[in-house]
Amino acid sequence: MEIVEKINGALNGFVWGPVMIVVLVGIGIYFTVKTRFLQLTKFGLMLKTTVGSAFSKKDKTRAKGTITPFQAMTTALAGTIGTGNIAGVATAIVSGGPGAVFWMWVSSFFGMITKYAEVALAIRYREKKENGEYVGGPMYYIQKGLHMKWLAVVFAVFCVLASFGIGNMTQSNSIAEALYSSFGIEKWLSGVVACVIVGLVIIGGITRIAKVTEKFVPVMGIFYVIGAVAVLCINADAVPAAFRLIFTEAFNMQAVGGGIFGYVMMNAIRFGFSRGVFSNEAGLGSAPIAHAAATTDSPVKQGLWGIFEVFFDTIVMCTLTTLVILTSGLWTTGLDGAALTAASFGSTMGSFAQYFISISTVFFAISTIISWSYYGERCIEYLFKRPSCILLYRMCFIFSIVVGATTNLTLVWSIADTLNGFMAIPNLVALIGLSGVVIKMTREHFDTEHDKYQKAVKKYRKK
């Protein structure tokens, strides 16, 4: 077991180490420059195109797909918003200081355009099945865009393995621990109930998954936001100081042992970037699998949903958690992870905070399991193309929920984190290799939109 831990530790240090973080953020910087800061200059359009049109009744007969763009986004967001929004932010603050949050924002700013590129490619290279469903994701744009099927297979294999780890057992374990600590519910019972709920959802395929997530994700998001905002309203006087602490610590050049570079600042950058990437999964390649099924007539339009996804997950949700922790003043007490977040809410909510965090954890974890079941299923389908294999995967996936809830997963958490990182490598190769396709699609789309606008203006003036 010790050998496995050492090997995994070395691999984890690579896939989530400085080199990978630099590559991930570097790709985001490259796309940002080449698309003329799309996530900033088109931010208003993004909001109008995404949440602004989520409930629009406008006819979309020209668009093709299986589920609505909003459902695709909520399915992807279900997999992205997880326990990392509760525990991950606290870990970043404890390990890297409050300044880590600033660098989390920076990584997320560039992560928005990375997610945009992934989603756009997923639509560009997706396929239509015999039953009318649309499927896509990194395995498809790697094979069809880069013509490297072996690399597509590598991605699919790692995605399937990751779906059992970070997308299943670690999540069910969080559910069991939360319900046991707050309500005394036996862990095996939590596992069985979660197993039944997830089974009833995923057996209906992407259509049922999408219908559940479009209702589930907004409810859990609003529930958590209301709780955090309520705490911040009570601690309003401490909010400005919290923001000031974030910015001052982000550029704190304090050195240790005579070091040339600021130790505090370097630590903040390291943990801010890594937690940001871990939280929003930009570059990982998971979310494009859900977005590929969206009903849309444009890869670029669907790509804008990817921008919103990162914005809501990190800039909104993670920032709220950050401010709750910093305004509580408990981040220097030695607490870490979910315990620190719970204590921070508890400083204002009292004993109710434990239940609030537990309920939020259950919401986040269940949604993650449902979403990752779809990612794994699509990859199994890509690898084997047999209904029997999909059925076997579903059975194993559902059974793993109970296993995760009743087992000590210290090593599994670490291995799952490593597998998550390995998923990113083939996807990043594809993003680099197909960057020209993304940039061309983007410029052609907005140039066309600009031409349409100019023609409309001229027509209006003639009247």
- pLDDT bracket for residue 59 (50, 70, 90): very low
Q: Which residues pair with 67 in a beta bridge?
A: 294
CATH superfamily entry for domain 2-54+63-451: Amino acid/polyamine transporter I (1.20.1740.10)
In 3D space, the residue among 135, 159, 122 whose CA is nearest the CA of residue 284 turns out to be 159
Q: What CA–CA distance (Å, rounded) separates 313 from 280? A: 6
Q: Is the dihedral of CA 285, 290, 292, 296 positive or negative?
A: negative
pLDDT of residue 250: 81
Confidence of residue 258 (pLDDT cuts 50, 70, 90): very low
Percent residues over pLDDT 70 in the chain? 87
Q: What is the Cα–Cα distance from 319 to 2, expressed in whole angstroms?
A: 37
Angle made by CA atoms 185, 191, 197, in degrees to the nearest 5: 110
Residue 251 phi/psi, 5-degree rounding, is: -120, 25
- pLDDT tens readout for residues 150-192: 999 999 999 999 898 878 888 888 888 888 888 889 989 999 9
Cβ 101 vs Cβ 93: under 8 Å: yes
Under a CB-based contact definition with an 8 Å cutoff, are residues 405 and 172 in contact?
yes
Question: Mean pLDDT of all residues in the chain?
Answer: 84
Please, where are the H alpha helices in 125-186? 138-145, 149-164, 170-183
Q: What pLDDT is recorded for position 34?
A: 93
**408 pLDDT above the threshold of 80:** no
- Does the pLDDT of residue 457 top 60, yes or no? no
Q: How many CB atoms lie within 10 A of CB 143?
A: 20
Are 114 and 27 spatial neighbours (Cβ–Cβ below 8 Å)? yes
User: With the CA atoms of 84, 50, 130 and 387 taken in that order, what torsion angle do they form, in degrees rounded to the nearest 10?
Assistant: 10
Residues 373-394 pLDDT 10s: 999 999 999 999 888 899 999 9
- pLDDT value at residue 23: 87
pLDDT digits (tens, 9 = 90+) for 81-133: 776 777 778 878 887 888 888 888 888 899 999 999 999 999 999 998 888 88
Pure H helices in 283-386? 287-291, 299-310, 319-328, 337-349, 352-384
Instruction: Read off the pLDDT band of 259 (50, 70, 90).
Output: very low
Helices 69-80 and 205-234 cross at an angle (nearest 10°) of 60
Residue from 42, 5, 79, 60 nearest 308 by CA = 42
Q: What is the pLDDT of residue 260?
A: 46
Contact 156, 140 (CB under 8 A): no
Question: In whole angstroms, how far apart are CA 119 and each of 163, 292, 413?
Answer: 19, 7, 27
- Tell me which DSSP letter residue 128 carries: E
Mean pLDDT check: name the lowest of 15-24, 105-114, 155-164, 231-240: 15-24
Count of beta carbons in the 10 Å neighbourhood of residue 454? 10
Q: Phi first, then psi: give them for residue 292, nearest 5 degrees.
A: -60, -20
Enclosing H/E stretch for 205: helix 205-234
Q: In the prediction, which pLDDT does 458 show?
A: 60
For 349-377, what is each residue's pLDDT tens digit? Answer: 888 887 888 888 888 889 889 999 999 99
The SS3 of residue 135 is strand
Residues composing the chain: 463
pLDDT at 41 over 60: yes
Q: Find which of 140-149, 212-221, 296-305, 347-356 is predicted with most confidence, using mean pLDDT.
A: 140-149
From CA 141, how far away is CA 117, in angstroms rounded? 11
Q: Regarding predicted confidence, which is higher, 189 or 269?
A: 189
Q: For the chain, how far is it from start to end, CA to CA, in angstroms? A: 79
The string of pLDDT tens digits covering residues 278-288 is 677 788 898 89
Where residue 257 falls among pLDDT bands split at 50, 70, 90? very low
Q: How confident is the model at residue 429 (pLDDT cuts 50, 70, 90)?
A: very high
Burial track 206-216 (b if 16+ CB lie within 10 A, e otherwise): beebbbbbbeb
3-class SS letters over 238-296: HHHHHHHHHHHHHCCCCCCCCCCCCHHHHHHHHHHHHHHHHHHCCCCCCHHHHHCCECE
Helix H or strand E encompassing 67? none
Tell me, what's the pLDDT at 273? 67
State the pLDDT at residue 272: 67
pLDDT score, position 194: 92
Closest CA relative to residue 12, chosen from 426, 414, 427, 425? 414
Structure tokens at 177: 């621990």
395, burial (CB in 10 Å: exposed 0-12, middle 13-18, buried 19+): exposed
